[in-house]
Structure 1
Amino acid sequence: MKKLLVLVFALGFLGTAQAQFGVRAGFSSANFTDFDSDAIAGFHVGGYYKKDLGFLSLEPGVQFSQKGYQRNSTVGHTTKNDRINYLDIPVLVRVNFLPFLNVFAGPQGSLLVSRNMELVNGDNVTDTEPIRGYDIAGVVGVGANLPFGLNAQVSYDIGFQSVQYYDQDVKNNVFKISVGYDF
């Protein structure tokens, strides 16, 4: 009975808590772990739903994100760069230290959407077969609430599993700088 009362109270609290939708976009710098490559610049864009619970906030979202790698020196390699596009689905928990500052972390599932591998000879390959169709990662970061509904954040996506890139054990790692707007 005690657990049922706690559950009813928690659901009621969640129902009265503040919630808002928002959009976010920004710069990404992605690379594979344990792979002879350099980071590739890209972007990410998407939306989120933030449920404010006071000291904590729960924030699921969906965003299009560019990942992959590039090679500054293509000597001995046939690939110049490989841009791999994902649909990221993070579920973040934010700890609101001050009204304007928060830290966050949470899991992220990603679905492979498309790919464009540029070869040294100028050809492009769009086949997604050599890459696992999904990815599991963790996200950590710091965010700031700005005036007029704006927010900014710096985050890092840490790949938890191999994407089996041409049967190689590599993981996606992505550094992101974002600007968002709460409606």
Structure 2
Amino acid sequence: MKKTILGIALAISSLTFAQQKAKASASPVSFGVKAGLNVSSINADDAKAKAGFYGGVFANIPVATSFSVQPEVLYSGMGAKNKDYSSVKLNLDYISVPVMLQYNVLPELYLEAGPQFSFAISKKIKGDGGSVDVDNYYKGFDFGVGIGAGYYIAQGFGVTARFVAGATDIVENNSGDAIRNNVFQVGVAYKF
């Protein structure tokens, strides 16, 4: 819970800094919302991808002619399905705080890369018999590195795609190979 509160405080302070930066400079800081589909998995032998949802807010802060920093606060549903029993799912829900450095290839097209800090808000295994909390088996923090692209079609509306590769082991006291989250996101965004 402390990590979740810390993550939310970090995100709010980033957005507050963005507003102060907007007042201090001539560069326009823009805010927006985004949402879409997560296709996530973990790198375990018995896991396969499952679909989920992501959504949240962002601030886009220009730092140079073609570069900007975009901190975000997102709800992100991740996890995996069991290969042998597709009704059994690992549901890992996070508040994610990506901080992406964006390069504008064209005024409408950008490429991005950066770190993502995620704080677990729910960890469950769900099957035909219901769901079970697995808080003691999975860590409350996850770190990943994202790369992606986006294209703004018209009047603030855009499409986005991003892959986030997990860099930390998500299993508590794991004595085997590291288990990491991996997620591919595709969605829409709107800048105000």
What's the TM-score bracket when you normalise by the shorter of the two chains? 0.7 to 0.9
| Cα distance between partner residues in 1 of 2:115 and 2:75 | 16
Name stretches of at least 5 consecutive residues in structure 2 with no aligned partner.
1-20
| Cα distance between partner residues in 2 of 1:123 and 1:47 | 32
1:116·1:124 contact (CA, 8 Å) conserved in 2? yes
TM-score by length of 1: 0.85
Runs of 4+ in 1 over 3 A off after TM superposition: none
Please say if 1:24 is aligned against 2:34: yes
1:35·1:170 contact (CA, 8 Å) conserved in 2? no
In structure 1, the residue matched to 2:113 is 105
65-74 or 153-162: bigger deviation? 65-74
The alignment's C-alpha RMSD in Å is: 2.2
TM-superposed deviation, 1:126: 2.2
| Cα distance between partner residues in 2 of 1:165 and 1:69 | 17
In structure 2, the residue matched to 1:171 is 180
Mark the CA change 1:35 to 1:15 in structure 2 (over 3 Å): closer, same or farther: farther
Which entry has the higher C-alpha Rg, 1 or 2? 1
TM-superposed deviation, 1:166: 7.1
DSSP-derived class of the 2:25 partner = helix
Name stretches of at least 5 consecutive residues in structure 1 with no aligned partner.
1-10
DSSP-derived class of the 2:46 partner = coil
Please say if 1:147 is aligned against 2:154: yes
Q: 1:158 aligns with which of 144, 148, 165?
A: 165
DSSP-derived class of the 2:48 partner = coil
Please say if 1:132 is aligned against 2:142: no
TM-superposed deviation, 1:91: 0.4
TM-superposed deviation, 1:134: 0.2
Mark the CA change 1:99 to 1:17 in structure 2 (over 3 Å): closer, same or farther: same
DSSP-derived class of the 2:105 partner = strand
| Cα distance between partner residues in 2 of 1:141 and 1:131 | 27
Please say if 1:80 is aligned against 2:93: no
- Percentage of pairs with the same residue: 26
TM-superposed deviation, 1:113: 0.5
1:69·1:83 contact (CA, 8 Å) conserved in 2? yes
TM-superposed deviation, 1:102: 0.8
